[in-house]
Amino acid sequence: MKIKSIETLRVAIPVDADGPRGAATGAWDRVESLVVRVETAGGLVGWGEAFGHKVNPGTEAILHTMVGPWFLGKDAALAEALADQAQRAFHSFGRGGPVMYALSGIDIALWDIMAKRAGKPLFRLLSATDGELRCYASLLPYGGDRDAIARNSRKALDAGHGMIKLHETALPAFMAAREALPAEIPVALDVNCPWTVNEARAIARAIKGRGFEWLEEPVWPPENFTGLADVRREGVAIAGGENIGSLDEFRRAFDAKALDVAQPSVAKIGGVTGMRRAAALAAEYKLRVVPHCFYWGPGYLATAHIAASLPNRPMVETLFAAFAAKPHALWEPEKGSLVLPETPGLGFEPDLAVLERFMVSRHAVRAN
Ligand SMILES: [Mg+2]
């Protein structure tokens, strides 16, 4: 099970979010994945994904210059032990951020390999009984355009998504989705850390009792856990955790009573190993876990396998936009549900022609 090669494939697929375009609205016209491919000397291949988007050139460089070479020749069956050793080896280069993203990508690939070797889909290796999941639609930002928000909220509802999440920051935008949807469909608000504590408290008071599932990352900076706890005391559920880089930081957030919903992110917190540990910690604090998942590649599937293994079976966050091409058979944002296959591992079988067509860059490191 010696690791023979580690390859990165940085892929950017054009998307149509059916809304206003351009930087002013924050709209996205393509979505990247930094796919990690690990191969063992015996020929087993594992797929992973490292965060992400604009920092991909940095994560990619770390993978092929520093983190990737460290893993060459090591035993792919030892993901958890290697996670601990690697974090110690690289701790002085960042306890969160691209070093952890790189480690996350490799860890996911190692779990894929371990599940393949065990002959089981990852969700069964994680003791889940089935791989059927609901999804929720994570809308791209529409810069407050109420028509686009309402239209896409209804489209996601028609597709069968169990919840709609917005990336908007103003009450009229929030209400555009709320008013477009039946009351029983939850609407979550992801605002990405814009406000002071007092501003966020005012927003919390304004949305309280109006049918919103949670308010995600309302405060700048995201690690202001006492500030988040202050906002939470207004009586609105607070979600966060995608920007938390370590287990100890999660513990500080939980101790500060900052969160109702913990959102570790598989391609940032240390892969499957990191997610399992974060979820176990959240369980100690009796907190709900709903993973962050702004991914379409192996990170998406890893999140789904982990979600299947969690007691609350959270819906899988699914980036809601029309892709120019389908990167793999299990990427169906237009569906609102996901059935993980019984094939061993993650079940990530990329359409290599699609990856090739939208490839930004590709690197490999190999054992001598
Ligand atoms: Mg978020």
Which pLDDT score is estimated for 25? 55
Q: For residue 69, what are the CA distances in angstroms to 4, 61, 279, 366, 367?
A: 10, 11, 29, 8, 8
Task: Say how far apart CA 103 and CA 100 lie, in whole Å.
Answer: 5
Which pLDDT score is estimated for 368? 83
C-alpha R_g of the chain: 20
Q: What is the 3-state secondary structure (H, E, C) of the chain?
A: CEEEEEEEEEEEEEEECCCCCCHHHCCCCEEEEEEEEEEECCCCEEEEEECCHHHHHHHHHHHHHHHHHHHCCCECCCHHHHHHHHHHHCHHHCCCCHHHHHHHHHHHHHHHHHHHHHCCEHHHHCCCCCCEEEEEEEECCCCCCHHHHHHHHHHHHHCCCCCEEECCCCHHHHHHHHHHCCCCCCEEEECCCCECHHHHHHHHHHHCCCCEEEEECCECCCCCHHHHHHHHCCCCCEEECCCCCCHHHHHHHHHCCCCCEECCECCCCCHHHHHHHHHHHHHHCCCEECCECCCCCHHHHHHHHHHHHCCCCCCEEEEECEECCCCECCCCCCCCEEECCCCCECCCCECHHHHHHCEEEEEEEECC
CA 76 / ligand 1 centre spacing (Å): 31
Which pLDDT score is estimated for 20? 83
CA 1 / ligand 1 centre spacing (Å): 36
Which pLDDT score is estimated for 28? 81
CA 194 / ligand 1 centre spacing (Å): 12
CA 265 / ligand 1 centre spacing (Å): 10
CA 208 / ligand 1 centre spacing (Å): 20
Task: Say how far apart CA 167 and CA 148 lie, in whole Å.
Answer: 12
Whole-structure pTM value: 0.97
* Dmax (CA) of the chain: 62
Of 28, 12, 37, 7, the C-alpha closest to 360 is 12
CA 65 / ligand 1 centre spacing (Å): 30
368 residues of the chain, pLDDT tens digit each: 999 999 999 999 999 989 886 555 556 889 999 999 999 999 999 999 999 999 999 999 999 999 999 999 999 999 999 999 999 999 999 899 999 999 999 999 999 999 999 999 999 999 999 999 999 999 999 999 999 999 999 999 999 999 999 999 999 999 999 999 999 999 999 999 999 999 999 999 999 999 999 999 999 999 999 999 999 999 999 999 999 999 999 999 999 999 999 999 999 999 999 999 999 999 999 999 999 999 999 999 999 999 999 999 999 999 999 999 999 999 999 999 999 999 999 999 999 999 999 999 999 999 98
Task: Say how far apart CA 329 and CA 341 lie, in whole Å.
Answer: 11
Which pLDDT score is estimated for 101? 98
CA 5 / ligand 1 centre spacing (Å): 33
CA 14 / ligand 1 centre spacing (Å): 21
> What SS3 class is residue 298?
helix
CA 365 / ligand 1 centre spacing (Å): 32
What domains appear along the chain, each with residue ranges and CATH number?
3-119+350-366 (3.30.390.10), 123-339 (3.20.20.120)
CA 178 / ligand 1 centre spacing (Å): 19
Which pLDDT score is estimated for 116? 98
Residues near ion ligand 1 (Cβ under 5 Å): 190, 216
CA 254 / ligand 1 centre spacing (Å): 18
CA 138 / ligand 1 centre spacing (Å): 9
CA 269 / ligand 1 centre spacing (Å): 14
CA 317 / ligand 1 centre spacing (Å): 10
To the nearest 10°, the Cα dihedral for 124, 292, 106, 326?
80
**Beta strands at 359-366 and 3-16: parallel, antiparallel or unpaired:** antiparallel
Task: Say how far apart CA 253 and CA 219 lie, in whole Å.
Answer: 13
CA 179 / ligand 1 centre spacing (Å): 22
CA 92 / ligand 1 centre spacing (Å): 27
CA 136 / ligand 1 centre spacing (Å): 13
CA 242 / ligand 1 centre spacing (Å): 6
CA 9 / ligand 1 centre spacing (Å): 24
Q: Is residue 26 reached through a cis peptide bond, with omega within 30 degrees of 0 on the bond before it?
A: no
CA 328 / ligand 1 centre spacing (Å): 24
